[in-house]
Structure 1
Amino acid sequence: MNVFGLLNTRLQGALVKQGFTTPTEPQVKTIPAVLAGEHVLLIAPTGSGKTESAVLPVFNSIMQKEKEERRGISVLYITPLRALNRDMLSRLEWWGEELDIKVAVRHGDTTTYERQKQSLNPPDFLVTTPETLQLLLTGKRLRNNLKTVTHVVIDEVHELASSKRGAQLSIALERLVEVCGEFQRIGLSATVGMPDEIGRFLAGTGRSCRVIEVSLTKRLDFSVICPRPGAKDVESSKKLMCTPEAASHLRVISDIVGEHKSTLIFVNTREAAEMLGSRFRMLNIPIGVHHGSLSREARIEAENSFKTGILRGLICTSSMELGIDIGDVEHVIQYMSPREVTRLIQRVGRSGHWVGEISSGTIITISADDAAESSAITRKAKAGEIETIDIHENSTDTLANQICGMALDFKELAMDRIYSIVKRAYPYRDLKIELLRAVIKQLGDTRLIWVEEDRIRRKRQTLQYFFENLSMIPDEKRFEIFDIVSGRTVGALDEAFVMDFARPGAVFIAKGEMWRIVELITEKSMIKVEPISDPQGEIPNWVGEEIPVPYEVAQEVGSIRKHIAGKLAAGEGAGKIIEDYRKEYPADSEAANEILELIKKQVKAGLTVPTEDTVVIEQEGVTLVLNICGGHKVNETLGRVVTSLLAARFGASVAMEIDPYRIKLELPRMFSAERLRELLLTTSPDHVEPIIEMTLKNTQLLKWKMVHVARKFGALSRDIDYERISMKKLLDVFEHTPMYDEAVREIFHDKLDITRAREVLGAIQGGHLKLITQPSSPIGEAGFMGGRELMAPERADSSIIMALKNRIMDDHVILFCVNCKKWKSSKLVKSVPERPECPLCNSRLIAALKPWEEEEIKIVKKPEKEKTEEERKRTARVYRNANLVLSQGKTAAIALASRGIGPETASRVIRKMREDEEEFYRDILIAERNYAKTKRFWE
């Protein structure tokens, strides 16, 4: 039987009008379950009729009521997307008009007029966000309109389940139960690991949920390729100012886009999106860019241009994984490894949205690790081995937020009632009453609620706090990146990355170029940087919004290495190894060969290959590399433990860099690989967590998290400048409170894997993981690409020196005659005469001062006997400046116009000008850099 026959006849007529005669597989399985009143989680690919699977039976339910019976909202459709899917909205509105069902939208941008209209005359079906639901629950009239809710549909439920927004929503749904009684819950999700867990999250504690899974993995087709540059790529790389490898990637992307009507090109970072986008603009190829840092207008324009075929290709980040409407996608390119199985499935799943159609995707890889990682991910995707979603359990800042919401809902209520409501929310099923009491006490101490024995009451501050904290998304600043060489702003960075990684000397990538941090000025939200003169010799400490590679994927890369190394040891030929590899993994010959060649180099050098069961420590001078296939979170955890122990031994900091397969340590002095081996064998796995927590106490990351958590608790105001709060003060106030525990819990949840790191350390000590030391190896050196393939090979010194020279020449300098003390003139440095001379007294004793040194002129003009000791020193400095200009002319003016360079430093660098102009400017660059690093100590 056709399941559409179960629906109201008017609905069936509307389906015919839309041309829907045959239901899709998700509709066949879902419509009867929803009509039967079950809580349902539908896991199905985008474009498979997923939305209609949920809303058709829900519309059916509304239509069973007489028109006059519909006094309030019957259905809430909750979506995590702040930019609501315009296509989905227009479809829902069409159904509403056709079926005489009022459909409306309410979110942050809804006009006051529209809101008032909804309050007085509520719609049957309201599309909203988790944050706006908070408002609906607390508004008097709006709350009244919720009494009639019978169904709640949650779109992209997998996206919410893994975040604090989801934890907040889970309690909000239980607060909604207090208003309208039990309602039917329907969740729509992309493919996830452990779907039953998401079902439990959706339904809440003690309720059962039917999980309906329509697998996409059967309809996925992948290919992993590794383009090699040809002669044409070498030629075009010069024009495009990139490496021949990057030119070959651009060529392949362009060819694939040319072969399909519409192609999405997913990248892992905004920087990669901008790099590719800028090169396609240079090539005049119609491929657009879409990512979260672009304005809303720019994103909508890109979406519409792609949808109408003006753009055949669209480069995007994870912003496109959710169901943004961009029409039909024929093919998906993933540039570099997608890092996670779920990400690959969601991304490639955006293509081929016709019934029975295959979703096809090409992964373009750039190195051996990248090719092996992509191979492992594609095999796992085909086998349905998908990562599980990690729910935020017992998040206390979310709990504090919702307790204030309940105080507004009920004006006054007992702690027992709060406890029973919260425990129904799945993330809080194991909540201990002691933790609830501690959170309530904290809210009482910060005067957000009245606490009397076992009851709470709202206060005037409760409402203000709640409206300021509707969202659990942190309010983040953006840090401006300022290039000290060119004097220009080159972009901006998210506060989270700055707090986690930024420190003087750290190297990162922005706009496809590499930069070294010179100074971090948090009160001005600015990072001062210099371009890297030799990108080939530097390792980026961070590359932007890095997606962590899971432990299981890294382990399979280790297994791939072991398998190939075993075949080489058995004397098998390259052709046969590549052929066998391609039977197991959907990789082309170049990708398989890239992996093979790296392992071959390792074996030829007589060195051990690091694998899933072999950890290798390598040494090159004061650099140690711990080769371990642990993925980002495990390697980050172990790396922090090791650096902490080594820093304690050395009494100096140890630089660390990790990727999914290596932990690289730069030590202040020699420390043998054998001694690091000893350290790993003797550090108790039980000490991992306390060591990490201890080291976190000195980090900007913990400080940043604590301030954000304290803001969400209402203990700090939203606009507080946390740079003015010392870490010591924060720890003194918060250390033994739920706020401190939450900040640590969240860092452990998002950044680290304590449990797995303990297991790995235990396995090393138990002999289950072999631990070997050896000299530096090809595999050890092959890591930390960090997007270096995006760099132009000759970006080196001369271009930086030219930028510095141009900036200095366009700076102003004040020429002041110290002989007559009457003449001064402001000039561009490039306009300064070769031999400056005073037009009033013809003296050549002219000082070249920076624009902000005007004060020095007043001091020099002062009668000698009226000067203080400090002013006499400053006068002598101006005369030294003038003597330098007298002897060296314009060259002295150039040096003296540079930042932080006085007469002493200037006289030292000037002699270089005669020998080598580039060396002269390079010395100025070093002097400016030192000034930027040290000025905060003596300003």
Structure 2
Amino acid sequence: MNVFDLLSPTIRENLQQMGFSEPTLPQRMAIPEILAGNNVLLIAPTGSGKTEAAVLPVLHNIMDIDGPGIKTLYITPLRALNRDMLRRLEEWSDALGVKIAVRHGDTTKGERASQSRSPPDLLITTPETLQVMLTGKRLRSNLKSVRTVIVDEIHELASSKRGSQLAVLLERLVEVAGEIQRIGLSATVGSPEEVAKLLTGMSRDCRILRADVERLVDFRVVAPRPGRGDHALAGQLGCEPPLAAHISCIRDLVRLKKSLIFVNTRQAAEVLGFRLKMLGEPIEVHHGSLSREARVDAEDAFKRGDLRGLICTSSMELGIDIGDVEHVIQYSSPREVSRLIQRVGRSGHGIGRVSSGTILATCPDDIAEACAIARRASTGELEEVRIHETPLDVLANQLIGLSLDFGEIGIERAFEIVKRSYPFRDLSMDEMLSVLDVLRGNRLCNVENGIIKRRRRGWEYYFENLSMIPDEKRYDVYDMVSRRQIGTLDEAFVVSFASPGATFVTRGEIWEIVEIEDDTIKVVPIQRSGEIPSWSGEEIPVPYGVAQEVGEIRSHLARELEEHGEEDAIRWLLARYPVDREAAEQLVDQIKHQIAAGCAVPDDKTVTIESDGSFAVINSCIGHRANDAFGRAITAILSTRFGSSVGMEIDPYRIQLTLPKRMLAEELLNVISDLSSAQMKVILELSLKNTTLFRWKMIHVARKFGSLSKDIDYERVSLVRVLGVFENTPMYREAIREIYQERLDVDTAGNILDRMVSGEIQVITCDLSPIGSSGRGGGRDLISPEYADAAVIELLKNRILHDRVILFCVSCKKWRSLREVGRVPDRPECPLCGSRMIAALKPWEDEEIKIVRMPEEKKSAEDKRRTKRVYRNANLVLSYGKTAAIALASRGLGPETAARVIKKMHSDELEFYRDILRAEREYARTKRFWGD
């Protein structure tokens, strides 16, 4: 039977007019189940008709329901998806006479009022907007008629706190509308049962429909080496030859097939986009830091065919309609199997079409990782979804929501509503009461005689915290050499890390912070050969399973090399993984060099500990989160032992330690051998309290509890004191839980440690090896050639020569002239009186001229001091001419500092400007300590 026959004649007629005569597999599976009123989780690839599989039977049901009010809520994770969904459903709306509308943060006040008075039959919205609707009197009334909720892209919500938030929101909706039918639409996920429970809660059944349409998938891992043309291109683009080779590869692929180019960071998007545009390629950039208008323009241009390529981050993984995509390029390993499947699934929409993707790997670790992920994607070995279990800040937010929903609600009833949701199934009454104590202390609600009562302050808190996504302030970053804005940094960086002298990567270059002022961070480009920047942002964590497979690949290649030789090792890799020969050769080369150096190959069953004096590496193929936990425990012990801090960088395959004193690899092994998994957990919790990571999480959690204002001034408040007050509170416990959930895999790290100590995992010590010293160094893959010292000085020189100075004659006190520094004569002279006593003042020092012109008897002591400085300035110009004007035009250089710079009598111009730069940086660092 054709399942379309189960739908109304009007729907069938429109399906025929649209050319849909045969249902797809998702439609065949889902339509009968949804019409039967069952809760459904439909898992199917993008482009397989899963949206229609949910919407058509729901529209059929809506047509049979009379009366006002919203009948169906269609919830998506993104506003962009809302707009896209409205476009797709408008045709059905017109044909069936079903009213469909969108409501989210961008909806105008007029549209909202209209929806409240005359609600649509189907409302497309977000979890955050549902938060609002549940508390509004008229909106809440409109929700009483809801019979069905569709949650699109539910896999995207499942592993975040937004998923836990939505689970409770659906239970709050039940209190308004009664039991509702729940339909979830998901891409392929590793643990569908968990996602189904998130959708339906603890006491309801859910039919999991796996409509894994047989789609042809073609993955290829490439790693182009720079050719002769790439060396020339590198000079043209101002980058290293390996990056030029990558850009050449992307350019050639995009010219061949219209492509999405996925990257893992916004920085990578900007760097690649900038250089491809330099080549004149029709390519745009799409990521979350761009304005909505810029993103929509890029989407529309790609859909029209004006662009051959769109460089994008994770937001484009979701089903936003951008038209036909012929190919997907993934720049660098996608880090996760599910991410690769979702991204490559954007190409080749339609049954029977091939989804093709190229992973452009950037180094041997990247090649091995991409191979493991591509193989796992081909066989459907996905990571499990990890739902946030009992997130207490979500609980706090939802308890206030319940108090606003009802005005007052019994604690027992609130407890029962929240516990119906899957994430809070294990919530204890004691835990809930401790959260209520905090909320009551923050005057967000009253708790009396077993009743939670709303308070006016609760409304303000609730609407400031509609989303569980942290609100982050953005800071403008200015290069003080060129005096141009180079980008923005988020609040996490500023609060947790930023201080004068700190280094970080942005726009593919390394920068040093020299000044933080209000909403602005001033930086200078630096040259630090080989140094890993102290801030490179958070990476997408590589899971344990993928890292272990990289270890297995290394192990097999080492065995093939030792037993059969290089060619057989390459053939082994080519036979088992979708990798091209050039990439395979680079990976085999890495293992060959390791063996040639006389070093053991770290793999899935071997950990190597290496030391080169004050630098040590623990090579362990256990993934980001486990290495992070392992590394933090070890650095805590070593810091205590040395009495000073130990630097740590981690990636999925190694822990790199910068030690304050020399330490042999054997000594480091002894430290690890004395540690147990039980001790590791205790050490981690104790050491986490003093980390910027914990401090930042604590701030966000405290905000979601209403304990800290979102406008808190970090410069004025002692965060150490605040965190001391929060210790042993629900906020403290939630911050620790979230860190363990998202950043530290303590259980896996403990298990690995026990296996190392027992001998199940072999541990070998050695000198620093090729693999140990080849860490990815988070972010350096896109760094431009080191900023040459001469180039920095040239920027500074150009800036100063194009700045302006006021030339003022202190002899006649009549002549003044505003001009560019570059146009100042070698020996300035007053055209009115012929004097060479000419002061070179900054444009904002006009006030100094008025003071100099004042009669002496009217000058205060301060006025006389300022007059003396102007004469000192003029004496410098008299003695050194234009050279003095250049120094005096520099930022923060008064006559005294300028005199010190000038009097060094530099033998070359480069050294003169270098001293000016040092003086400017010193001024920026110490300015806040000066008097007014």
Judged with a 3 Å threshold, the aligned counterparts in structure 2 of structure 1 residues 791 and 627 are, in CA distance, closer, same or farther, namely same
Residue 200 (structure 1) aligns with = 197
Contact 2:191–2:384 (Cα < 8 Å) also in 1: yes
Which one of 911, 914, 918 corresponds to residue 919 of structure 1? 911
Contact 2:215–2:355 (Cα < 8 Å) also in 1: no
Higher mean alpha-carbon deviation, 491-500 vs 546-555, is at 491-500
Residue 148 (structure 1) aligns with = 145
Higher mean alpha-carbon deviation, 655-664 vs 403-412, is at 655-664
Mapping for residues 635-654 of structure 1, pairs under 5 Å:
635-654=627-646
Distance 1:869 1:673 in 2: 66
Which one of 101, 115, 120 corresponds to residue 117 of structure 2? 120
Mapping for residues 326-341 of structure 1, pairs under 5 Å:
326-341=322-337
Aligned Cα RMSD in Å? 2.8
Residue 540 (structure 1) aligns with = 533
Distance 2:341 2:497 in 1: 30
Distance 1:551 1:504 in 2: 36
Judged with a 3 Å threshold, the aligned counterparts in structure 2 of structure 1 residues 894 and 161 are, in CA distance, closer, same or farther, namely same
Q: CA deviation at 1:285?
A: 1.7
Higher mean alpha-carbon deviation, 291-300 vs 794-803, is at 794-803
Instruction: Work out whether 1:375 is the aligned partner of 2:359.
Output: no
Contact 2:81–2:319 (Cα < 8 Å) also in 1: no
Q: CA deviation at 1:314?
A: 1.3
Mapping for residues 7-46 of structure 1, pairs under 5 Å:
7-46=7-46
Which one of 515, 523, 528 corresponds to residue 529 of structure 1? 523
Which one of 529, 534, 547 corresponds to residue 554 of structure 1? 547
Q: CA deviation at 1:45?
A: 0.8
Runs of at least 5 residues in structure 2 that lack an aligned partner in the other structure: none
Q: CA deviation at 1:925?
A: 2.3
Q: CA deviation at 1:705?
A: 3.0
Which one of 396, 417, 420 corresponds to residue 392 of structure 2? 396
Q: CA deviation at 1:880?
A: 6.2
Distance 1:167 1:866 in 2: 71
Residue 459 (structure 1) aligns with = 455
Q: CA deviation at 1:837?
A: 4.5
Judged with a 3 Å threshold, the aligned counterparts in structure 2 of structure 1 residues 862 and 100 are, in CA distance, closer, same or farther, namely closer
Residue 57 (structure 1) aligns with = 57
Q: Could you tell me which amino acid in structure 2 is paired with residue 559 of structure 1? A: E
Which one of 657, 675, 688 corresponds to residue 680 of structure 2? 688
Judged with a 3 Å threshold, the aligned counterparts in structure 2 of structure 1 residues 785 and 912 are, in CA distance, closer, same or farther, namely farther
Distance 2:861 2:684 in 1: 52
Q: CA deviation at 1:788?
A: 3.4
Distance 1:170 1:322 in 2: 21
SS of 1:780's equivalent in the other structure is: coil
SS of 1:292's equivalent in the other structure is: coil
Q: Could you tell me which amino acid in structure 1 is paired with residue 145 of structure 2? A: T
Judged with a 3 Å threshold, the aligned counterparts in structure 2 of structure 1 residues 830 and 170 are, in CA distance, closer, same or farther, namely same
SS of 2:419's equivalent in the other structure is: helix
Contact 1:217–1:381 (Cα < 8 Å) also in 2: no
Which one of 320, 328, 345 corresponds to residue 324 of structure 1? 320
Mapping for residues 156-305 of structure 1, pairs under 5 Å:
156-215=153-212, 219-260=216-257, 262-305=258-301
SS of 1:583's equivalent in the other structure is: helix
Query: Deviation string for 1:726-768 (max 9, x for gaps)?
Result: 1133124322322222233223322222222222333332333
Q: Could you tell me which amino acid in structure 1 is paired with residue 452 of structure 2? A: I
Residue 887 (structure 2) aligns with = 895
Q: Could you tell me which amino acid in structure 2 is paired with residue 25 of structure 1? A: L
Q: Could you tell me which amino acid in structure 1 is paired with residue 447 of structure 2? A: V
Q: Could you tell me which amino acid in structure 1 is paired with residue 331 of structure 2? A: Y
Number of positions where the alignment pairs a residue of Structure 1 with one of Structure 2: 931
Judged with a 3 Å threshold, the aligned counterparts in structure 2 of structure 1 residues 700 and 790 are, in CA distance, closer, same or farther, namely closer
Higher mean alpha-carbon deviation, 114-123 vs 427-436, is at 114-123
Contact 2:270–2:507 (Cα < 8 Å) also in 1: yes
Judged with a 3 Å threshold, the aligned counterparts in structure 2 of structure 1 residues 121 and 899 are, in CA distance, closer, same or farther, namely closer
Distance 1:803 1:816 in 2: 27
Contact 2:560–2:568 (Cα < 8 Å) also in 1: no
Contact 1:217–1:384 (Cα < 8 Å) also in 2: no
Q: CA deviation at 1:111?
A: 2.8
Which one of 463, 466, 470 corresponds to residue 470 of structure 1? 466
Mapping for residues 871-890 of structure 1, pairs under 5 Å:
884-890=876-882
SS of 1:537's equivalent in the other structure is: coil
Residue 5 (structure 1) aligns with = 5
Higher mean alpha-carbon deviation, 124-133 vs 465-474, is at 465-474
Q: CA deviation at 1:542?
A: 4.1
Residue 788 (structure 2) aligns with = 796
SS of 1:724's equivalent in the other structure is: coil
Q: CA deviation at 1:914?
A: 4.3
SS of 1:723's equivalent in the other structure is: coil
Q: CA deviation at 1:30?
A: 1.3
Distance 1:566 1:864 in 2: 90
Residue 106 (structure 1) aligns with = 103
Mapping for residues 332-481 of structure 1, pairs under 5 Å:
332-481=328-477
Higher mean alpha-carbon deviation, 824-833 vs 876-885, is at 876-885
Distance 1:727 1:793 in 2: 38
Which one of 551, 561, 569 corresponds to residue 568 of structure 1? 561
Q: CA deviation at 1:205?
A: 1.0
Judged with a 3 Å threshold, the aligned counterparts in structure 2 of structure 1 residues 759 and 680 are, in CA distance, closer, same or farther, namely same
Q: CA deviation at 1:526?
A: 2.4
SS of 1:153's equivalent in the other structure is: strand
Distance 2:497 2:775 in 1: 19
Q: Percent identity?
A: 59
Q: CA deviation at 1:479?
A: 1.4
Judged with a 3 Å threshold, the aligned counterparts in structure 2 of structure 1 residues 274 and 677 are, in CA distance, closer, same or farther, namely same
SS of 1:612's equivalent in the other structure is: coil
Q: CA deviation at 1:360?
A: 0.9
Contact 2:226–2:242 (Cα < 8 Å) also in 1: yes
Query: Deviation string for 1:44-67 (max 9, x for gaps)?
Result: 1111001011112212222333xx
Distance 2:923 2:644 in 1: 23
Q: Could you tell me which amino acid in structure 2 is paired with residue 255 of structure 1? A: D
Which one of 458, 472, 484 corresponds to residue 488 of structure 1? 484
Q: CA deviation at 1:413?
A: 1.5
SS of 1:493's equivalent in the other structure is: strand
Q: Could you tell me which amino acid in structure 1 is paired with residue 694 of structure 2? A: L
Residue 309 (structure 1) aligns with = 305
Instruction: Work out whether 1:755 is the aligned partner of 2:747.
Output: yes
Distance 1:456 1:585 in 2: 59
Q: Could you tell me which amino acid in structure 1 is paired with residue 656 of structure 2? A: K
Contact 1:192–1:387 (Cα < 8 Å) also in 2: yes
